[in-house]
Chains A and B, each alone.
Chain A
Amino acid sequence: MSVETLSVESRPASKVGAARVGIGGPVGSGKTRLLEQLIPRFIERGTKLAVITNDLTTHEDAERLQQSGLIDPEQVRAVETGACPHTAIREDPTLNIQTADELESLYPGLDLVLIESGGDNLASTFSLDLVDYWLFVIDVAGGDDIPRKQGPGVLHCDLLVVNKFDLAPYVGVDLERMRRESLQARGDRPVLFTNCATGQGVDDVVEAIGQAVLFDQS
């Protein structure tokens, strides 16, 4: 019997997989450190997760997480892009989609796959074929003019994370102005400030992801 002849109620449902969340941003902004803060928090709240990291020619970020003791090393996979990693999260995300599919197949109860990738400075964005929601991580030491430069990553991400806010006094950054200009650039879409060295502000990132794609009750 073809689908067309089935009543609506008897049509087969497709299996809904894990939420997929991208974490992008310039090299050195603290994406891997953010992952190291997110992983224990999600595990603590009962979220079953896996992680994919994208690197140019190494598995360095994945190995760092695998050796961290925070997560089963088997649930961390590296995608070695061979070129600037942003190409594998935007133009052709096949490698990452395949890796996420493989993780979901191996670990059927997964709730969340975090996909981290750097590269392309402020222009990196994620394909929505790959992820359901994505963060862009910048840091205050990169300069408080980053939001004003209006890179696609800053403009189009679902959540902008400004990391290393504790360094503001040492690098001459006016945090309030940075917050104001971030919101102006993004049309009031969310911006959160974190210090991933200590974990300050990371609970709010977990909450934002939970509300947006894990559908936690308010």
Chain B
Amino acid sequence: MLILDRILGQASEPELAERLHQIGHVGGLELLQVSGDDVQRRRLRLTSDAGTDCAIRLARTQRLSDGAILLLDTERAIMVRTDQPQYLMVRAVDAAGALELGYFAGNMHWSVRFDTDVLAIQIKGEVQDYLDRLTPMIESGKVQVESPCVP
């Protein structure tokens, strides 16, 4: 198990980008895929694409993000890759439907954002779980799912 307890920097920084490029050429760059659900965590255990058992243990002031570098030496680096958050785009057909959809989403404690007249519901877990919950409103024609899942 490899303990990774700090974010050294971001891959987009020029100094780091050059070093990562060189390490990548000798096959030393490992990627650590972190799901959208897990990216908020300060502690988690994951396996890199090269099979390294990694234990991430960050200070509360640090936060994982795409491109975060957790290990860097002359021949090896470990970089975080994250999924972009996925959203279910739901449009209410009228004001009454919008009220009901808004109430329902709040009651479900879903994370949402507003995109003009579309409610964007952040998918945490399986998209089907959200569609199942919305089925009565979809089947009654009160709302329409604009897109199953978009970044």
Q: Which 3 A-B pairs have the closest CB atoms?
A: A14-B59, A128-B40, A132-B43
Shortest CB distance A93–B (Å): 12
Closest chain-A Cβ to B127's Cβ sits at a distance in Å of: 13
Is B72 at the interface (CB under 8 A from chain A)? Answer: yes
**B25 at interface by CB-CB < 8 Å:** no
Which of B3-11, B78-86, B89-97 sits within the interface? B3-11
A1 at the interface (CB under 8 A from B): no
A16-B59, A91-B109, A215-B55 known; 11 other A-B pairs, CB under 8 Å?
Answer: A8-B72, A11-B8, A13-B6, A14-B61, A17-B59, A125-B109, A132-B42, A133-B41, A150-B129, A155-B129, A212-B45
In the complex, whether A90 has a CB less than 8 A from a CB of chain B is yes
CB distance from A208 to the nearest CB of B (A): 12
Is chain B's binding surface mostly helix, strand, loop or mixed? loop
- Main SS class of interface, A: loop
| Any A CB within 8 A of the CB of B99 | no
Question: How far is A156 from B61 in the complex, measured between Cα atoms in Å?
Answer: 25
**CA distance in complex: A11, B16 (Å):** 13
B15 touches which of A8, A101, A129, A132 (Cβ 8 Å): A8
Query: B125 CB to closest chain A CB, in angstroms?
Result: 7
Contacting B at CB under 8 A, from A129-150, are 129, 132-133, 150
Residue A217 at the chain B interface, CB threshold 8 Å: yes
Bound together, the chains give a CA A215 to CA B60 distance in angstroms of 17
Q: With the chains together, A150 CA to B130 CA distance in Å?
A: 12
Is B59 a contact of A19 with CB atoms below 8 Å?
A: no
A211 close to B (CB within 8 Å): yes
Q: A13-B6, A123-B109, A152-B109 are known contacts. Are A128 and B41 too (CB-CB below 8 A)?
A: yes
The reply on A15 being an interface residue by CB < 8 A is: yes
Docked CA distance A7–B109 (Å): 43
Q: Are A16 and B8 in contact (CB under 8 A)?
A: no
A213 touches B (CB below 8 Å) = yes
Question: A17–B72 Cα gap in the complex (Å)?
Answer: 23
Residue of B at shortest CB range from A90? B109
**Residue on A nearest B7 in the bound complex, by CB:** A14
Q: Provide a sorted-by-A list of 18 A–B residue pairs whose CB atoms are within 8 angstroms.
A: A7-B15, A8-B8, A8-B9, A8-B15, A8-B72, A13-B6, A13-B59, A14-B61, A14-B62, A16-B5, A128-B40, A129-B40, A132-B41, A155-B125, A155-B129, A156-B125, A213-B43, A215-B3
